[in-house]
Structure 1
Amino acid sequence: MVNDCMLEMRNISKEFTGVKALENVNFKVGRGEIHCLIGENGAGKSTLMKVLSGVYPYGTYSGDIVFEGQVQQFHKISDSVKAGIVIIYQELALFPDLTVYENIFVGNEVRRGSIIDWNRTITQAKQMLDKVGLNVNPDTLIKDLGVGKQQLVEIAKALSKNVKLLILDEPTAALNENDSENLLNLLRELKKQGITCIMISHKLKEVISIADKATVIRDGRTICTLDAAKGEISESVIIKHMVGREIDDIYPKRTNQTFGANVLELRNWSAYDAQLGRQVLKNVNLHVRKGEIVGIAGLMGSGRTELALSLFGNAKNYKVQGELIFDGQPRSFKHTSEAIRAGLAYVTEDRKGDGLFLAQDIKQNVTAANLKGVSAKGVINGNEEIKIANDYKESLYIKAPSVEQIVGNLSGGNQQKVSLGKWLFVGPKLLILDEPTRGIDVGAKFEIYTIMNKLIASGMSIIMISSELGEVLGMSDRVYVMAEGEIKGELPISEASQEKIMELATQ
């Protein structure tokens, strides 16, 4: 039960070079509750949490933070941590070349006197890993873990501190449905132990499932706080407050669905990862027709991303076998540039790490994969680059003041649209989308889906890899289900269901 108010943020305002990110935001969280903070990308959710945690220090915003009855002045992150506030950001803050146990206790070392006690560190790391349900050796290097497992290490790291208020920014964005449910159960267990949670999430089913209360922020302002006990938290109500309008169906329907000849065909396609010392793909047979969206479903580690990488120029240098027929011709792409020239493009699941140049602006990112398209004799035509970037800014609904906006300062949804624009500019025949809506809000998802439908209508083909089964079912024409590097089944969308997909994914 919620006993009293643990946190109150009063009239918080924050500006960035004349742009008001937050305007008189009021936000209250009761002790022992799970409080979801929701809103479209760019609404101000993460900014508000960065104010709370001291990333944006006292003096750089107006308003008051009242935590456990005391007005706080957090000048740096360590100040909020000392008070018992721990935040896990959407951008993971892990050291890839350190072990899991070193990452869990970095800055919070287990010591015996002035010496780090490594035995106790490893023992306590195992305990934290058990709490988050992550079965990995604490000696494992972070860079050898997938994005989803890295997220769980972040949560274990947070739990290793004396947490009173745990803030999670899109904690399940990189997780499949089973792992997401395990995490939600973990949060419920932490609630029983007296830990208060604020969770930012775009997954409305999660919000409905777990939230005691949910506060909606739109355009930097508080819109409302909904109370589950009063029956106020529902998908339609949340969407209406988030986007300022009603969206009847998040998956826009397509008309005139006709498919052409095969754009891609794989026959007994296998891949061996020499670095990991194991087979990552085994005798994959699939095809994609012109004008078709083919969904690839499966649990984390099933081989979906490995399949995409093996097709797109084999950047991981897998030892591949089998036949790849693209646009009617047997092909063997030795490098990503060969795949691009042939008409294949890949939008990675990790847009921040692999997909974008965060320190560069929109126009530089949009043209990065096809500089020849904006240059002559090795010299970039700046006016042409701006024109093309503006065309994509408009057609992809990228919300930014101009195409000279630094991409790292954009919301997740707008970054994803820039990543999409980058690959559309190469003029692909087949577009591979790996987790295309990970970590973006319902309004931006609808826009991405609308764009996908337009691309299909223009004759493009799409492979969509997704951990969200609703997305797979809502957007695909056919679904392949993978497990342990193999295709376990192919389902026409008329016969597909969440139950059938999960049954195949767990074979």
Structure 2
Amino acid sequence: MAATILEMKGITKTFPGVKALEDVNFKVDEGEIHALIGENGAGKSTLMKVLSGVHPYGTYAGDIVFQENRCEFKSINGSEDLGIVIIHQELALIPDLSIAENIFLGNENAKKGIINWNKTIMDTRELLGKVGLKVDPQEKIKNIGVGQQQLVEIAKALSKEVKLLILDEPTAALNEEDSENLLQLLLEFKKQGMTSIMISHKLNELFKVADSITVIRDGQTVNTYSIKKDKVTENKIIKDMVGRDLSNLYPERKNNSKDEVVFEIKDWSVYHAQDAERQVLNNVNINVKRGEIVGIAGLMGAGRTELAMSVFGKSYGRKISGQLFKEGKEVTFHNVSQAIEHGIAYVSENRKEYGLILIDSVKDNLTLANLNELSKKNIVDSNKEAIDAEMLKSKINIKTPSIQQKTVNLSGGNQQKVVLGKWIYTDPDILILDEPTRGIDVGAKLEIYKVINELAEQGKSIILISSELPELLGMCDRIYTLSEGEITGDHDISVANQESLMKYMTQSRRS
């Protein structure tokens, strides 16, 4: 029987107005991969922040026992000194520094204040070899992909002689290939005796690599399962997570689309925002009918987000050419404000950079995109603002004790609901959703799917961009495939499947 490396006993953590954790018990055996799973806002990340010292000793109740010693971490440095290293969902790398500088930031190879760069480069190259990343240690972070950045974060953890590696949604922003490589890396670390805790909403990935799964719901421990010993299924885990059966991951919907084309993109071409000679979209043609949900499927780098942002008030790209038609009439948006005025809304895949003002309240974020609705003579009606914000909070089930709560204190899934609510408040005719359920648990996904369906039933036209083919197949009426900046197919949902979509998603321009 494996020894216990970590035990957290009776952990209780309270924030103003909400109890995030209540008497949570969590035990991890040495050398295993232990999955921690639950809905957004269930308390997973908070529990790991307690463990890693982000929430220091004295701000919570309960005990942490690591390698048979009771620990009182006052900061993240205290946990790292014992070999507990956390990699957060939002990568903490500095884009303009090199890979080597990022890996040894705060842990420099230095004597008397002078950094030994030769040793730093050699050590970085060795660490990158351990994570299977073949790239120049002096390459800047901003010049490598998200999957490679995730591996740099792991290499950084290895530089600190990690004994317990915590990964918070490590594959949320990765494509299938990068995700699979990361999972294989974790299994390799396991063979070498490393212990890992993995937070993820992707149950199929957890069943591939995890030895044990602990489920948290509403800040309390629900169950812990051994993958090998217990007869545990995805449906059982989902029921534990949400407290109810989810017999269908996608809500039933009728095809509400009419023959009337509401929005059309014609011969749309865009060049890269930084490199004016690099074309990222070439003669893209798509259309959306009234009440229709149209999907856009493409691999990372295909140009999906570039298409959405360039259409939304030319907020991305150079040398943009082509035409946009709304209800048969050509329209031109030179900026985001003009796009909003013409009934276009865009929910960004990057909610923290483009979707939210995190230090502001939920109320302020929900009403931000449509202050004209609340204003008379440039003075905001604060009573109406509060009433409308409460209505949106209830409509899309944002879990927060108050609309005055700062948005930064919400879970990722509830932050995403705030972004969606903000754009619903503008009452758009065309809603572009870019990865609207990324990093969101199955229960919250179903709630967002229902909102999307309701909007379609109201006659709104939806463009849904997603990396998850089952999501597109479960939600859309038609799906366009995009490869290397070009549309390669227009697929009716009645004949589309994952294999056929992937074939068109991987077509090259030459073929």
Instruction: Flag whether TM exceeds 0.5 (same fold).
Output: yes
Structure 1 residue aligned with 2:288: 288
Matches within 5 A, 1:113-132: 114-132=113-131
Cα distance in 1 for residues equivalent to 2:381 and 2:143? 41
Task: State the match for 1:47 in structure 2.
Answer: 46
Structure 2 gap segments, 5+ residues each = none
Query: How far apart are residue 126 of structure 1 and its match?
Result: 4.2
Q: Counterpart in 2 of 1:389? A: 389
Moved more, 79-88 or 249-258: 249-258
Tell me which residue corresponds to 1:477.
477
Instruction: Report what 2:213 is aligned to.
Output: 214
Counterpart residue number, 1:78: 77
Q: 2:245 — aligned with what?
A: 246
Aligned to 1:273: 272
Give yes or no for contact 2:478–2:493 (8 Å, CA) kept in 1.
yes
The answer for the alignment partner of 1:34 in structure 2 is 33
Q: Does 1:200 align with 2:199?
A: yes
CA contact (8 A) 1:35 1:199 kept: yes
User: Where does residue 96 of structure 2 map in the other structure?
Assistant: 97
Indicate the residue corresponding to 1:407 in structure 2. Answer: 407
| Alignment-derived partner of residue 185 in structure 1 | 184
1:77-125 Cα shifts (integer Å, max 9, x gaps): 0111110111011222222332333222211223467432334434443
Q: Contact 1:175 / 1:467 at 8 angstroms: preserved in 2?
A: no
Residues 270, 317 of structure 2: 8 Å contact kept: no
Larger mean CA deviation between 14-23 and 222-231 belongs to: 14-23
Contact 1:169 1:199 in 2 (8 A): yes
- Aligned 8 A contact 2:477 2:492 in 1: yes
Distance of 1:131 and 1:262 partners within structure 2: 53
Q: Which amino acid aligns with 2:437?
A: T
Tell me the secondary structure at the aligned position of residue 405 of structure 2: coil
Partner of 1:504: 504
Structure 1 residues 357 and 146: CA distance shift in structure 2, 3 A: farther
1:209 counterpart SS class: helix
- Structure 1 residues 16 and 233 mapped into 2: Cα distance closer, same or farther (>3 Å)? same
Q: 2:325 aligns to what?
A: 325
**Separation in structure 1 between the aligned mates of residue 99 and residue 483 of structure 2, nearest angstrom:** 26
1:80 aligns to what SS in structure 2? helix
CA distances 1:301-333 after superposition (whole Å, capped 9, x unpaired): 111111111100111342112222233222231
Do the aligned partners of residues 101 and 487 (structure 1) sit closer, same or farther apart at CA in structure 2, a change above 3 Å counting?
farther
Q: Is the 8 A contact 2:255 2:477 kept in 1?
A: no
The change in CA–CA distance for 1:355 and 1:141 in structure 2 (over 3 A counts) is farther
Q: Who is 2:226 aligned against? A: 227
Structure 1 pair 271–126 and aligned structure 2 pair: CA distance change class (3 A): farther
Q: CA deviation at 1:501?
A: 2.2
Structure 1: 5+ residue stretches without partners = none
Identity of aligned residues (%): 59
Aligned 8 A contact 2:5 2:28 in 1: yes
Moved over 6 A (4+): none
Q: Report the alpha carbon displacement of residue 20 of structure 1 after superposing the two structures with TM.
A: 1.8
Contact 2:255 2:292 in 1 (8 A): no
**1:428 alignment partner in structure 2:** 428
- Structure 2 residue identity aligned to 1:267: K
Rounded to whole Å, the distance in 2 between the matches of 1:124 and 1:442 is 41
Q: Which residue of 1 aligns with 2:416?
A: 416
Deviations 1:339-366 (A, max 9, x none): 1111111111111122101100011101
User: Equivalents in 2 of 1:491, 1:31: separation in Å?
Assistant: 49
- Match of residue 259 from structure 1: 258
Secondary structure in 2 matching 1:229:
coil
Q: In structure 2, how many angstroms separate the alpha carbons of the residues matched to 1:8 and 1:442?
A: 28
Which runs of structure 2 are paired with 1:431-442 in the superposition (5 Å)?
A: 431-442=431-442
Q: Kindly state the Cα deviation for residue 145 of structure 1 after the two structures are TM-superposed.
A: 5.0
Residue in 1 that maps onto 2:355 = 355
Name 1:398's counterpart in structure 2.
398
* 3-state SS in 1 of match to 2:179: helix
User: Please, what TM-score do these two structures have when normalized by structure 2?
Assistant: 0.95
C-alpha change, 1:291 and 1:134, in structure 2 (3 Å) is: farther
Shift of residue 139 of structure 1?
Answer: 4.1
Range with bigger deviation, 7-16 or 118-127: 118-127
> Post-superposition shift, 1:472?
1.6
Residue identity matched to 2:264: E
Aligned to 1:309: 309
Q: What is the one-letter code of the residue matched to 2:294?
A: V
SS in 2 for 1:369: helix
Q: What is the identity, as a one-letter code, of the residue corresponding to 2:9?
A: R
Looking at structure 2, the residues matched to 94 and 466 of structure 1 have their Cα atoms a distance apart, in angstroms, of: 25
Q: Per the alignment, do residues 132 and 353 of structure 1 end up closer, same or farther by CA in structure 2, a change over 3 Å counting?
A: farther
- Most deviating of 368-377 and 107-116: 107-116
| Cα gap change, 1:343 to 1:133, in 2 (>3 Å) | farther
Letter in 2 for 1:166: L
**Aligned partners of 1:274 and 1:319 also within 8 Å:** no
CA distance in 2, matches of 1:266, 1:136: 39
Say which is worse superposed, 152-161 or 43-52, in terms of deviation: 152-161
How many equivalent residue pairs? 506
SS in 1 for 2:73: coil
Question: Deviation of residue 281 (structure 1)?
Answer: 0.8
Aligned AA (1:429): D
Provide the C-alpha distance between the structure 1 equivalents of 2:359 and 2:425, rounded to a whole number of angstroms.
Answer: 20
What is the SS of the residue equivalent to 1:491?
A: strand
In 1, are the aligned partners of 2:39 and 2:241 still within 8 Å (CA)? yes
Supply the AA of the counterpart residue of 1:183: L
What is the distance in 1 between the residues matched to 2:17 and 2:465? 39
Equivalent residues in 2 for 1:146-165 (5 A)?
A: 147-165=146-164
CA change 1:139–1:333 in 2 (3 A) is: farther
Q: Does 1:341 align with 2:354?
A: no
Aligned to 1:92, the other structure's residue is in SS state: coil
Correspondences of 1:438-449 after superposition (within 5 Å)? 438-449=438-449
Name the stretch that deviates more: 497-506 or 239-248. 497-506
Across the aligned residues of Structure 1 and Structure 2, the Cα RMSD in angstroms comes to 1.9
Q: Which segment drifts farther, 260-269 or 422-431?
A: 260-269
Q: 1:38 to 1:391 in 2, by over 3 A?
A: same
Partner Cα separation in structure 2 for residue 56 and residue 437 of structure 1:
27
Deviates more, 1:132-141 or 1:247-256: 132-141
The change in CA–CA distance for 1:369 and 1:152 in structure 2 (over 3 A counts) is farther
The SS at the match of 1:282 is: strand
- Alignment partner of 1:12: what SS? strand
Contact 1:177 1:468 in 2 (8 A): no
Compared with structure 1, are the counterparts of its residues 431 and 202 closer, same or farther at alpha carbon in structure 2 (3 Å cutoff)?
A: same
CA distance in 2, matches of 1:287, 1:132: 43
Cα deviation digits, residues 232-269 of structure 1 (max 9, x gap): 33210001101111000111110253334222222221
CA distance in 1, matches of 2:150, 2:339: 31
Structure 1, residues 418-469: CA drift from partner, whole Å, max 9, x if none?
Answer: 1001111111111111111111111101101111110111111111111112
Q: TM-score, with normalisation over the residues of structure 1?
A: 0.95
Q: Which residue pairs with 1:5 in the alignment?
A: 4
What is the alpha-carbon distance in structure 1 between the residues aligned to residue 269 and residue 134 of structure 2? 27
Partner SS state of residue 241, structure 1: helix
The question of whether the paired residues in 2 share the 8 Å contact of 1:208 and 1:233 is answered with no
